[in-house]
Structure 1
Amino acid sequence: MISLLRICDLAIIDELEIELHPGLNILTGETGAGKSIIVGALDLLLGARASNDVIRTGAESATVEGVFSIRHLETLAILQDQAIADPDDVSTVVVRRVIARNGKNRIFINGNLVTATTLRDVTSRLVDMSSQHAQYALLDSSTHLDMVDRFGGCWGDREAFGGYFATYRRLQDELAALHKAEQQRAEREDFLRFQHDEIIAAKLKTGEEEELEADLVKLRNLERLRSGTSAVVGALDAERQSAVERLAFAEHRLRDLAAFDESLLPLLSRLESARIDISDIAFELSKYNATLDMDPRQLDTAEERLALIRKLKRKYGATVAEIIEKGRSIADELERFGTAETKIASLEKEIGVLYHELTQRASQLSSIRRQCSDRLDAAVTAELSSLAMQRCAFQTEISSLDPKHRATFGPTGHDRVEFLVRTNLGEGFLPLAKSASGGELSRILLALKAILLVADPVETSIFDEVDTGVSGAVAEMIARKLKLAAGQRQVLCITHLPQVAAFADHHLKVQKAVIDERTVTRVSILTPDERLEEIARMLGGLTVTDKARDHAREMLKNAG
């Protein structure tokens, strides 16, 4: 139930606070007084799109706030799941929307910033609104399925079906993408396999390029190495007057001298070590020289190998290590390609299982709809009879989305629903758009609302000029329907008809005033005498006569 509505800087409303109560709350007032602004404010609280055009001239933002009381545990569970319930008062929900001129609009529930989706999810369980355009929306057959499912109590089954269907479509899209990429995949797989084979065939090793470059320097200078080392060996130990021979002579003389002075012994030891080292060096160089015999093909082989590495570097990476890593990444991609066929087969199997599940669930939904449609038809026909349409009959037509393929389905199943009506006895059933007048549409809408409200847990129903196109006795019948509905939930009705206003439990008048040369909207709850005057005005026009007052008094008396 809405207990309080606050509006600030919205259109011609500067500041307005409206207290609403259980029962039938009626809003009346002259055309242009601001009733539609109040309805618009309520619509914003229900999640309608906001435009900064509605901000009052001179203000930077508009604010709408509603205080709701809740009784249903389902709504409370949603608030708790979203962590936006008021821990101090779980039975109260405060919704606030701020529409800023700079476009930075914000939505709060119990002081918590939320999305428009969360707002609609919460408030749709609190309030049901029938706007001035609802009867025209009734002409759109796409709305009829929603009403049948609400009446049949299969909304939960339908949402579950929608979840399966969303998964089914996602998998279908994924499978289509895989098939579309199959040709490209095959071409790329051939290309990658060539690259992979080329890298693997090279049998690269980390550091190989540096080793080859060093080997090539040696191979290209082999003769210089051979002749040079021979000369060094000769100078050290193989020729007359070689270094080893001279060191041996020096060692012999120093040993003779050390016999006269022992302090020369360390020097003798060092000289001996130098002779031995140089002799070893000469021996090692001789061995090295012996290895310098080369197969003429060795240089060509090394140069070809280095050329291959440099070719691979131009294609796959700046270093041998990068080429090796490239080979690994290509191998990984090829492995994924190898699983593509498996993935396709897995998806096709999963889609098949889902299709079977969807087909069964769609058939179950269709069965529930067909069973409840007969009850809905009878109930609406009875309601219309009580609204002075005794010869009118209502019928729900359920057909397949694709008559040729029963298994074709959409997010709500495989049914198409359209309401038909027969307004004259002996005539056939026709779609609402082809057979019902404006007044008849108003009554059909009210009949549907009256029936759906029984199955709907919302605690507040808003009717914005639902009585359009009717008058007299029919208007009184509508008023009695609204009064009956208000016995089960809060009803807020905006009306121009005195017959409806007379049945109010709480009568609020909307009127314009000029304050400081600015037009503003004001709302006041009427006393019994003020109600009499307002209903008389609605009956008589600009001049309220005693006759109009008497008529208004009689209407109030009849309304009880």
Structure 2
Amino acid sequence: MIQSLTVKNIALIDELNIEFEAGLNVLSGETGAGKSIVVDSMNLLLGERADRELIRSGQEKAHVEASFRIDSAVFGDFFAKNELDAEDEMIVSRDLSISGKNVCRINGTVVSLTILKTLMDRIVDLHGQHEHQSLLYAKNHLSFLDNYCGAEAEKAKERIAQLYSQLKKAQEQLDETGGDEKERMRSIDLLSFQIQEITEAQIFAGEEDILREEREKLNNAQAIAQNLSAGYAELYLGGEEGGSALSLVQDTVRLLSQISMYDEAYEKTGERLQESAFVLEECAHDLRSFLEAVVFDEHRQAEIEERIDLIAGLKRKYGNSEDEILAFCAEAQQKLEKLQNADADAARLAGEIETIKGRLYKEYQALSGLRKKAAEKLSGAVLKELSDLGMPGAKFEAHFAPLPEPEKAIWRKDGIDEMEFYLSTNEGEPVKPLSKTASGGEISRVMLAFKNISAGLEDISTLIFDEIDTGISGRMALVVSEKMASISRSRQVICVTHLPQIAAMADANFLIRKYSAEGTTHTAVTRLEGADVTDEIARLAGGIETENSRIYAGELRQNAEKIKEAFGR
């Protein structure tokens, strides 16, 4: 159970602390006083997603903390798995910040939001004022029933999930073989064309760069030939105004050789010049060879352009480079070989899929049987609860659609049942879909019945109800208050309400009020005692506190005491 709740800097709350009791705790107050803020704060501790807008204006951080009394032995596996200290006194906290940082702690140890939610789902069940609307949608009914089914159904769903996973994998493998024969042949034709197109092109890595370089030479052949010819002439032939560079060097070598006997340095320099003459002669021969190789070939130029266009076309289809195109071709070849040998694989996988479907359908039937059996028990339990809630003539049933035949089944990982709850609120009237028959007050009572049943199954120690008394008044309000009092004998109940009948039934009353101080709005929570409880019940009953409303409030409290005495404190 929740022993205390501390809230700091949430919405209009700067700081408050609530000490809860073990029985029925009722929070009331004027509309807009901040009752929903307290519930939002509790939701944060239950692992729900946080909104930074909850942080009080002007503050950087917010903090919510609660103290719980639990049986640590019941949660021993959880604490051991998550390396947490197992204690009967448990402190859970959560910090929010404007920066978006979100820190959750259990007994001082930082934990993930998922771990926090997993634990709190086993301790507290919070039923919001709009949650009962989920009962109006048939798609949610099966989940209510599955929660009631228990471990046997969960194991059946696990087996179904495993088989469904096998089915999906086998179907994916069959798709990889090309699917049916027509689809496989289309894939073979496409891959064969792609492989042939790339293979016949006979491209190689770096070919495009080589072709572009050759194209540049062809486009500038005349300029290249002129420069090579002039260079050769300057080096070897010489021009009209003088000898060649080679002849000039050779003349200098002769001059130095004639005076070499006078100084050894002249001889060495002459030898170096002679070596240069050899180099110049080789370079001249190279230039002549280059010149002889230069040709302007229009046919070759057209071939190069055609080749570059071919490579560009392949790049558009298969990759950004010759390497990628060749890799695509190799992969396509592997796929083609696999498809060409796929007949045997496809036949094997098709048979495997049929086998899995057969097993899966049997599991669907088994799960459906478990659900139908549980639905009968659930109907009986709900009818008992509804009778306690002032609907003794009600009928409640779970209507199942017939299971489709295997060839028409839509394979799913959680079963193929289609089910909807039906209700009749008046004796003698036929049952109809819940969404079409129940009023707001009736829906609230059906949901209260579900919550009481599910909490008992899951051993939830605390139930929180946030204004679920929508559409309830008069006699029905008293009936609902009696049911809450009954529930609170076995587990803690925290209820936000506007009904005086529920407030009168409380073991602990808390008033939530809003006030202004120094230009700022605040929300505060006060534990009510004695006459203050009567005054609040009177306010809830009539809005105006008169002597008559106080007398009525006193009568409600006296009646509540008798009822609780009958339940046994």
* Equivalence for 1:165: 164
C-alpha separation in 2, matches of 1:73 and 1:341: 58
* Equivalence for 1:465: 467
* Equivalence for 2:485: 483
Kept in 2: contact 1:465–1:494 (CA 8 A): yes
Q: 1:156 aligns with which of 149, 154, 157?
A: 154
Q: 1:117 to 1:355 in 2, by over 3 A?
A: farther
C-alpha separation in 2, matches of 1:443 and 1:553: 22
1:447-480 alpha-carbon deviations (Å, 9 max, x no partner) = 2222232222322211112222222332222222
User: Where does the alignment leave 5 or more consecutive residues of structure 2 unmatched?
Assistant: 205-306, 316-322
- How far the C-alpha of 1:157 sits from its partner, in A, is 2.6
* Equivalence for 1:509: 511
Q: 1:434 to 1:72 in 2, by over 3 A?
A: farther
**Aligned ranges for residues 211-230 of structure 1 at < 5 Å?**
none
C-alpha separation in 1, matches of 2:445 and 2:69: 30
C-alpha separation in 2, matches of 1:132 and 1:346: 55
1:479-529 alpha-carbon deviations (Å, 9 max, x no partner) = 222222222222211111221122222222222232332111112223344
Q: 1:551 aligns with which of 530, 538, 555?
A: 555
* SS at structure 1 position matched to 2:141: helix
- How far the C-alpha of 1:133 sits from its partner, in A, is 0.9
Amino acid at match of 1:54: L
Q: 1:322 to 1:158 in 2, by over 3 A?
A: closer
- How far the C-alpha of 1:351 sits from its partner, in A, is 3.4
* Equivalence for 1:532: 534
* Equivalence for 2:2: 2
Deviates more, 1:101-110 or 1:408-417: 101-110
C-alpha separation in 1, matches of 2:492 and 2:407: 45
Amino acid at match of 1:387: L
RMSD: 4.2
Q: 1:350 to 1:459 in 2, by over 3 A?
A: farther
* SS at structure 2 position matched to 1:415: coil
1:151-190 alpha-carbon deviations (Å, 9 max, x no partner) = 2224523541345435534554554465368467524653
Amino acid at match of 1:495: T
* SS at structure 1 position matched to 2:147: helix
* Equivalence for 1:247: none
C-alpha separation in 2, matches of 1:335 and 1:111: 61
* SS at structure 1 position matched to 2:456: helix
Q: 1:353 to 1:323 in 2, by over 3 A?
A: closer
Q: 1:149 to 1:328 in 2, by over 3 A?
A: closer
Q: 1:126 aligns with which of 123, 126, 151?
A: 123
Deviates more, 1:32-41 or 1:345-354: 345-354
C-alpha separation in 2, matches of 1:335 and 1:20: 73
Kept in 2: contact 1:401–1:409 (CA 8 A): no
1:531-555 alpha-carbon deviations (Å, 9 max, x no partner) = 2332233234232535345335424
Deviates more, 1:89-98 or 1:482-491: 89-98
C-alpha separation in 2, matches of 1:169 and 1:334: 24
Q: 1:529 to 1:361 in 2, by over 3 A?
A: same
Over alpha carbons, which structure has the higher Rg?
Answer: 1
* Equivalence for 1:138: 135
* Equivalence for 2:262: none
Q: 1:147 aligns with which of 144, 148, 155?
A: 144
Kept in 2: contact 1:79–1:122 (CA 8 A): no
* SS at structure 1 position matched to 2:178: helix
Q: 2:359 aligns with which of 357, 360, 364?
A: 357
Q: 1:346 to 1:380 in 2, by over 3 A?
A: same
C-alpha separation in 1, matches of 2:44 and 2:324: 60
* Percent of aligned pairs sharing the same letter: 34
Q: 1:337 to 1:509 in 2, by over 3 A?
A: same
* SS at structure 2 position matched to 1:138: helix
C-alpha separation in 1, matches of 2:465 and 2:352: 47
1:224-273 alpha-carbon deviations (Å, 9 max, x no partner) = xxxxxxxxxxxxxxxxxxxxxxxxxxxxxxxxxxxxxxxxxxxxxxxxxx
Q: 1:324 to 1:506 in 2, by over 3 A?
A: closer
Alignment of 1:36 onto 2:36: yes
Amino acid at match of 1:122: L
C-alpha separation in 2, matches of 1:356 and 1:97: 49
Kept in 2: contact 1:189–1:337 (CA 8 A): no
* SS at structure 2 position matched to 1:14: strand
Structure 2 length as normaliser, TM-score?
0.68
Alignment of 1:86 onto 2:84: yes
C-alpha separation in 2, matches of 1:492 and 1:418: 30
- How far the C-alpha of 1:122 sits from its partner, in A, is 2.9
C-alpha separation in 2, matches of 1:501 and 1:440: 20
* Equivalence for 2:301: none
* SS at structure 1 position matched to 2:139: helix
- How far the C-alpha of 1:354 sits from its partner, in A, is 3.1
Q: 1:12 to 1:367 in 2, by over 3 A?
A: same
Q: 1:322 to 1:463 in 2, by over 3 A?
A: closer
* SS at structure 1 position matched to 2:524: strand
Kept in 2: contact 1:377–1:396 (CA 8 A): yes
